[in-house]
Amino acid sequence: MLLLMCAQIYENWQKLAYHSGCCNIISPHIFNGFYLPLKPGALQCKASLPSALNSVRFTSIVYRIDPTVTHSLANLGEFGLISRIADRVSAPESVITGIGDDAAVTAISPGMQLLTSTDMLLEDVHFRRAWHDPYRLGRKSLAVSISDIAAMGGIPCWALLSLAIPSMLPLDFIDDFMRGFLEMAAEKRVALIGGDTCSSRTGLTVSVTIMGEQHPDRIVRRSGAMPDDDIWVTGTLGDAALGLKLLESGFGSAQPLDSIHSSGNTGAINSSLPSRSSLSGVGGRDYLFSRLLDPVPRVSAALALAEAGLATAMIDVSDGILADYGHIAEQSGVGGCIRLDCLPLSESFCRQTESLPIFPFHLALSGGEDYELCFTADSSNREKVVDCLKKCGIAVTRVGIVTRFSGVTAVNPDGSRYVAQKEGFNHFK
Ligand code: ADP
Ligand code: MG
């Protein structure tokens, strides 16, 4: 009984230590009645217990955090951090064993096949802490992986999160990152079932492995496009690329920082962070920043298309429609023709580029990170495609046609071949 009691005290004390970020190694010894020995000055803990040992119940813990001890990853340690993450995760029925064992155990629905994809996000390669606040970075880290499952017509289900973290990164950064990650997970019904955690001697590295499921006959591959199919795209193109251009050109720095500061985010170089305050202003720059920093994976649209059997091939637009449709074309053994005057552009994109002497079509064609869906469909299904996506509340635009011969071209309204003119962007320098 005494042992059980000690274990209870120890367990509760560990939880306190994890959550306060104050202590890493905890001694389980009990001496001098019911006081726990502590690292000097770190954390004080006292358990008060009723006198009869055989009816011992743990009643209270009194603790005091020494203000000289900072909350840091170093104090928390790898296992403290994993526990801190695990404490925030809730598991659906499909997760039989989640975080905490050597491997997760999950149940795939009967008749379904497993879809798996992995992505890495490297600091200063895929993101900059100066621009990506941790909350939105957490959301985006999962969103881009969910987008891959959606692009196959799959139902995203489970994710593994591996983090290589610079030891000096503030704990608040990881907390806000996880808040964003788990919020995206909840929105898209994805369960975090494990991962790996280690320290990094360079920047932050985030690696997400995602798994989803789908009936074999509903999975949509890149290889199914047929000559004369229509080429479609959801949403608008080029917003994220324009947002990135604006940030690179210093246009993000003039934005107010209210919401980011008030949410207590730290660890990012806040002076140049774009604001979250007016994301709904569709004509403004913040809309473009949100498209870059907080992309929304088109899960419901992709699932609706897959379930209706409408998409012959599908991909998510992460590298620009020219390159991404190019993958469909290559794997389907076809070509394609994309019309410039059909490219869907947002109000913000048009407004923010209206003063340029040369319209930056190249951003809409070749700019990355829109995470829209590009898919092909039989031309007899045009109305069905529009109806299907209308039900999901997602805009869809027919941008071109699949050709029999290889090669993907973009054409001007007069039918002449478009040659990219990137000089337009010198004006943002
Ligand atoms: P092992 O040494 O067997 O690889 P770890 O100590 O790395 O185990 O991980 C312990 C448990 O915590 C495992 O279930 C693992 O999947 C999970 N885990 C580790 N890091 C993370 C993380 N960043 N996010 C979610 N789960 C994690
Ligand atoms: Mg491990």
For the chain, the structural domain boundaries read: 2-69, 74-218, 222-428
Cβ pair 56, 5 in contact under 8 A: yes
Residue 217, ligand 1, Cβ within 6 A: no
Residue of the nearest CA to atom 8 in ligand 1?
A: 102
Q: Whole-angstrom Cα distance, residue 79 to residue 24?
A: 9
Q: Which ligand is nearest to the CA of 82?
A: 1
Candidate of 173, 196, 204, 210 to mutate for ligand 1, largest count of ligand atoms within 8 Å of Cβ: 196
pLDDT in tens, the chain (429 residues): 344 444 455 555 554 444 444 333 333 333 333 334 444 334 444 444 444 444 444 444 444 444 444 468 888 889 999 999 999 999 999 999 999 999 999 999 999 999 999 999 999 999 999 999 999 999 999 999 999 999 999 999 999 999 999 999 999 999 999 999 999 999 999 999 999 999 999 999 999 999 999 999 999 999 999 999 999 999 999 999 999 999 998 886 434 333 322 232 222 323 344 444 333 455 689 999 999 999 999 999 999 999 999 999 999 999 999 999 999 999 999 999 999 999 999 999 999 999 888 889 999 999 989 999 999 999 999 999 999 999 999 999 999 999 999 999 999 988 899 986 554 333 344
Residue 6 φ then ψ, to 5°: -60, -40
Residue 154, ligand 1, Cβ within 6 A: no
Kindly give, in sequence order, each residue whose CB lies less than 8 Å from that of residue 426, ignoring residues fewer than 6 positions away: none
What is the 196 CA–ligand 2 centroid distance (Å)? Answer: 5
Q: Which ligand is nearest to the CA of 195?
A: 1
Cβ pair 329, 402 in contact under 8 A: yes
Q: What is the pLDDT of residue 67?
A: 43
Q: What is the pLDDT of residue 358?
A: 86
Q: Where are the beta strands (DSSP E) in 201-352?
A: 205-214, 230-234, 313-317, 335-339
Cβ atoms within 10 A of the Cβ of 245, count? Answer: 21
Q: Which atom of ligand 1 is nearest to the CA of 163?
A: 23
Residue 103, ligand 1, Cβ within 6 A: no
Q: Whole-angstrom Cα distance, residue 13 to residue 7?
A: 10
Residue 161, ligand 1, Cβ within 6 A: yes
Q: Which atom of ligand 1 is nearest to the CA of 162?
A: 23
Q: Whole-angstrom Cα distance, residue 285 to residue 307?
A: 36
Common-topology check for domains 74-218 and 222-428: no
What is the 195 CA–ligand 1 centroid distance (Å)? Answer: 5
Cβ pair 324, 317 in contact under 8 A: yes
What is the 296 CA–ligand 1 centroid distance (Å)? Answer: 27
For domain 74-218, say whether CATH 3.40.50.920 is its number.
Answer: no
| CATH for the 222-428 domain, from 1.20.1370.10, 3.90.650.10, 3.40.718.10, 3.40.50.2300 | 3.90.650.10
Residue 237, ligand 1, Cβ within 6 A: no
What is the 162 CA–ligand 2 centroid distance (Å)? Answer: 9
Q: Which ligand is nearest to the CA of 196?
A: 1
Residue 101, ligand 1, Cβ within 6 A: yes
**Burial tier of 72 (Cβ tally within 10 Å: 0-12, 13-18, 19+):** middle
